[in-house]
Amino acid sequence: MTEPTIPLDRVAKFIRQLTHDVRNGLSAIDLEAAFIAEIATEKDVLAETRKLRDMIAETAQLLRGISQYFQPVNAHCIPWSATAVMEEIRKHLGIEPENRFTNETLHIDLLQTLTALTALVKNAQEPPRLTGFVENNHAVLELREPKTIPPISLEEWGIPLYTTRTGSYGLGLYQAKKIADAQNGVLEIQWRDGMLITRLTLPLEASENF
């Protein structure tokens, strides 16, 4: 008998509710720690209480971040000049992109796009080379990263929770794909000649959507 497959939207709803419930529990513990700090007189107790509250806040922030990955993406797309987009990428990501655009205008949610690119850059083992250009009447933001070993599977790349390690749960790529979809864009990868190529394709202004 095969195990039933749970739809991803139900998994997302479960994670949002679970992290919410746990954060509520942490808030209760934090209030108790604050009360102890109010009535305690020993310096050692006060110092340890502060440490405890810092640990609670750090854990709550981690849970809040995980929950945000599973929130629906609402893109508010407006016209942005390609030059302005590439400049924002440079400032936001701290890398020098290669700008092959001319005078094109993208129809995107810039903040969401920067969020997706941040996830892609963080996923890279070393700083990737980012290039922006036009192809088939769409804007392409392409990242190239030397990689001697291909991803585990091109089909499985970006599936949330598929690979996990300390502090990382495979959620950034999942969020990047959702952001691309919300903007009528496409996020795809290729592995060729020892190079991992990630392409975020987005609409141009005055062009038809995908």
| Boundaries of domain holding 132 | 78-203
Distance set, CA 115 to CA 4, 89, 112, 153 (Å): 33, 10, 5, 24
For residue 122, list its beta bridge partners: none
- Considering the domain architecture, whether residues 46 and 145 belong to the same structural domain is answered as no
Instruction: Give the model confidence (pLDDT) of 51-65 as tens digits.
Output: 999 999 999 888 887
Q: In angstroms, rounded to a whole number, what is the distance separating the alpha carbons of residues 63 and 68?
A: 9
| 2, part of any domain | no
Per-residue pLDDT band for 42 (boundaries 50, 70, 90) equals confident
- Considering the domain architecture, whether residues 83 and 26 belong to the same structural domain is answered as no
Q: In angstroms, rounded to a whole number, what is the distance separating the alpha carbons of residues 176 and 182?
A: 10
Mean pLDDT of 146-173: 63
Do residues 133 and 106 make contact, with C-beta atoms less than 8 angstroms apart? Answer: no
Number of structural domains the chain divides into: 2
Q: In angstroms, rounded to a whole number, what is the distance separating the alpha carbons of residues 182 and 27?
A: 33
